[in-house]
Amino acid sequence: MTTTAAPPPTIAAEPRGATRASLGDTTVDEMDPGVPPAPVPFSELLRTRTRNGHGTSSRAGFMSDLMRGSCSRDDLVRLLAQYWHMYRALEQAAVAHARHPVAGAFVTDRLTRLPSLEADLEHLAGPAWRDRLDAVPATVEYVDRLRGAASSSPTAFVAHHYTRYLGDLSGGQHIGRALRLRSGLPDEATTFFTFDDVPDPTAFKDEYRARLDSLPWDEADEEAVVTEVLHAYDLNARLLAELDAERDLGASAGASTGVAS
């Protein structure tokens, strides 16, 4: 049993119910009731039980607009500014866990995003980009969680690490491509979405999931990770909703400009 963080208020997880390997219409259980079913790998359980949370985050209007190429340059600056606060706290939590016998296995410089965020912000907002770092309330809460639970609890740290970096290596890759193709942004303005030290994201994610599957954690710890991932999705969704609301205010004041302008 490791130290787990106090459970955050989150949207409900999908039930822990057993998912069985299936061969066509016949499940392994039905084939031979005497053989105990293979345990569901933790990475699969995590993905299944947090699927609703992922759906809510990825369907946010802000994300759809990024994918469509209909965000303004200011919108992107506001998003990267929130990420700057989040990744600064997440990457500090990574330093705190680097020597932990379990959580430390996830820590690698290959994922570090803060320098890319700073380069992109400078490219998009100019040398005074630090004046544009106002955090929305959900970002403040996110950073508190990263500095608190995720810095002291290995299960919370792994949950936040997984939510952001596996997301960046999945949907984040599509978003980066869309920004370059549909918004005409140059590579130098979208380095956050490009992991130079992870040339094969699929292979990296497979290794990452294998690491999740070999965690020496008990069921209570696994539950703590699932709960915290749901909390992370909730924070991401709220952050995007708050940026959307801010954007609506800006649009009604006539402040929108093209992203590539």
Q: Does 167 bind ligand HEM (CB under 6 A)?
A: yes
Pick the piece of the chain touching ligand HEM (CB under 6 A) from 15-23, 102-110, 130-138, 167-175: 167-175
Judged by CB under 6 A, which of 133, 171, 223, 256 binds ligand HEM? 171
Interhelix angle 219-252/73-97, rounded to 10 degrees, is 160
CB of 116 to ligand HEM, least distance (A): 16
- Please, what sign has the CA dihedral across residues 120, 88, 139, 131? negative
Q: Does 227 bind ligand HEM (CB under 6 A)?
A: no
Q: Does 69 bind ligand HEM (CB under 6 A)?
A: no
Q: Does 47 bind ligand HEM (CB under 6 A)?
A: yes
| Burial class for 18, CB neighbours closer than 10 Å (0-12, 13-18, 19+) | exposed
Q: What are residue 169's phi and psi, to 5 degrees?
A: -85, 0
In 3D space, the residue among 62, 188, 204 whose CA is nearest the CA of residue 117 turns out to be 188
# chain residues binding ligand HEM, by CB under 6 A = 20
Nearer to ligand HEM by Cβ, of 29 and 244: the residue is 244
Q: Does 41 bind ligand HEM (CB under 6 A)?
A: no
Tell me the β-bridge partners of 22.
27
CB of 230 to ligand HEM, least distance (A): 11
Q: How far is CA 185 from CA 34, 135, 180, 222, 243, in A?
A: 59, 24, 5, 40, 20
Q: Does 182 bind ligand HEM (CB under 6 A)?
A: no
Judged by CB under 6 A, which of 67, 98, 119, 133 binds ligand HEM? 67
Nearer to ligand HEM by Cβ, of 125 and 178: the residue is 178
CB of 190 to ligand HEM, least distance (A): 15
Q: Does 54 bind ligand HEM (CB under 6 A)?
A: yes
**Rounded-to-integer distance, Cα 119 and Cα 157, Å:** 26
In 3D space, the residue among 181, 188, 146 whose CA is nearest the CA of residue 163 turns out to be 146
Q: Does 164 bind ligand HEM (CB under 6 A)?
A: yes
Nearer to ligand HEM by Cβ, of 29 and 213: the residue is 213
Q: What are residue 258's phi and psi, to 5 degrees?
A: -70, 145
Q: Does 56 bind ligand HEM (CB under 6 A)?
A: no
Tell me the β-bridge partners of 26.
23
**Rounded-to-integer distance, Cα 210 and Cα 41, Å:** 9
Residues lying near ligand HEM in the complex (CB under 6 A) are found at 43, 46-47, 54, 57-58, 63, 67, 162-164, 166-167, 170-171, 174-175, 205, 233, 236
